[in-house]
Amino acid sequence: MRNAFAAAITELAAADPRVVLLSGDIGNRLFDPFKARFPDRFFNCGVAEANMTGVAAGMAMCGLRPFTYTIAPFATMRALEQIRLDVCCHNVPVVIVGTGGGWSYASLGPTHHACEDVALLRALPNMIVLCPADAAEVRCAVAAALAQAGPVYLRLGKKGEPAVHQTSPRFVVGRGIVLREGRDACLLGLGPMVATALEAAALLEAAGLSARVVSMHTVKPLDEELLAEAFRRFRLVAVVEEHSRIGGLAGAVAEWLAAQFPPPPGRLVAFGVPDAFFHEAGGQEYARQRCGLTPVQIAQSLLRVAGAAC
């Protein structure tokens, strides 16, 4: 996904002289083509995320379109007040790009995990939160982010995420993308967990439960039309995300659901990260398996819930 981001931002910078890229001392080789073509519009801001975010806001206040790029926990939580005040309160078009969302960097330990970022950033007024599912969605999301008039958080994985789109999708901010139709359940995937949701749906199909899978690439603004239809039509609506069960996509959907009257028939099931730091060694796959986020675990769990619901 980060390669797709680097290619997309380089392409956009060629077409739009307002595009500026600020990096928090990462992605050096990754951005070599950008730096070679636009040396005046690339800034390595060092290990100083608060300053980087404020600088980006100042640039945006003068008409530029800055993208800040670093590892998700530092891009978001380290500089949270700068995002809140300099970017969101001024309502300026800065795109905060967090690479390594969720457990992409699981092996680096909890300092490098970002499982609370969506909760924090979607609570900020004016902020749009985009979590593309694969490289194809990243390319669309970068262009869509640049087209916004205000702040955007763009949450990326790392690299090698499975493709869920064979061709470039129709990507509209605030509109989920249905990847697979189904009759009994609806899986709302977030970011690279969309691929996991698709695998789980294949397993469910074999077990006799037909599931729709949606890429909910925009957490804010939420696709309320899609939710209204899904909760009317499906007995089970499951969120699948690599984010804390507090405040992520499941949280956003639950907030929406609580405001519906009369309540729709569908039941919300949340697959996400428990409210705990993950201290064990091991990579992303291991962390997911420990917390019930593999396709098999999700499918088994949903079959149990579906059985109980019958």
Partner 1 sequence: MKEPANNPADLDAMKTAARSIRGRVVEMSHAAKAPHLGSALSCVDILVAAYWGVLRVDPAHPADPARDRFILSKGHAAMALYAALAERGFFAPSLLEEFNRPGGRLAEHPSLGCAPGVEASTGSLGHGLPLGLGMALAQRIQGFPTRVVVLMSDGECQEGSVWEAALFAAAQRLDRVAVVIDYNKWQATGRTDEIMAMNPLAAKWEAFGWTALEVDGHDLAALVDALGRVPDRSGRPLAVVAHTIKGKGVSFMEDDNNWHYRIPTADEVRAARRELGLT
**β-sheet bridge partners, residue 130:** 154, 218
* 3-class DSSP assignment, residue 94: coil
**β-sheet bridge partners, residue 185:** 211, 236
Q: How many CB atoms lie within 10 A of CB 224?
A: 13
Contact 157, 192 (CB under 8 A): yes
Contact 252, 122 (CB under 8 A): yes
Count of residues that bind partner 1 according to CB under 8 A: 29
123 part of the interface to partner 1, by CB under 8 A: no
CA distance 298 to 59: 44
Strand duo 95-99 + 19-23: pairing: unpaired
Nearer to partner 1, 50 or 203 (CB): 50
Q: From the list 85, 228, 257, 305, which residue makes contact with partner 1 (rule: CB under 8 A)?
A: 85
Least Cβ distance, residue 89 to partner 1 (angstroms): 5
Contact 213, 189 (CB under 8 A): yes
Nearer to partner 1, 53 or 99 (CB): 53
141 part of the interface to partner 1, by CB under 8 A: no
45 part of the interface to partner 1, by CB under 8 A: yes
Q: What amino acid is encoded at 65 in this protein? A: R
How many helices and strands (H and E) does the chain possess?
12, 12
Q: From the list 86, 137, 161, 241, which residue makes contact with partner 1 (rule: CB under 8 A)?
A: 86
89 part of the interface to partner 1, by CB under 8 A: yes
φ, ψ of residue 269 to 5 degrees: the values are -120, 135
Q: Is 57 left (phi over 0), alpha (psi -120 to 50) or beta?
A: alpha
Contact map string, positions 244 to 283, toward partner 1, x by CB under 8 A: ----------------------------------------
CA distance 65 to 53: 13
53 part of the interface to partner 1, by CB under 8 A: yes
64 part of the interface to partner 1, by CB under 8 A: yes
Least Cβ distance, residue 64 to partner 1 (angstroms): 5
Nearer to partner 1, 81 or 225 (CB): 81
Instruction: Please report where in the chains the tokens 């070679």 appear, as a residue.
Output: 36
Q: From the list 10, 23, 82, 99, which residue makes contact with partner 1 (rule: CB under 8 A)?
A: 82
Contact 239, 272 (CB under 8 A): yes
90 part of the interface to partner 1, by CB under 8 A: yes
Q: From the list 26, 57, 239, 306, which residue makes contact with partner 1 (rule: CB under 8 A)?
A: 57
Q: From the list 33, 43, 180, 303, which residue makes contact with partner 1 (rule: CB under 8 A)?
A: 43
95 part of the interface to partner 1, by CB under 8 A: no
Contact 45, 24 (CB under 8 A): yes
9 part of the interface to partner 1, by CB under 8 A: no
Nearer to partner 1, 49 or 137 (CB): 49
φ, ψ of residue 62 to 5 degrees: the values are -105, 15
Nearer to partner 1, 59 or 226 (CB): 59
The site for partner 1 (CB under 8 A) is made up of 20, 40-41, 43, 45-46, 48, 50-64, 66, 81-82, 85-86, 89-90
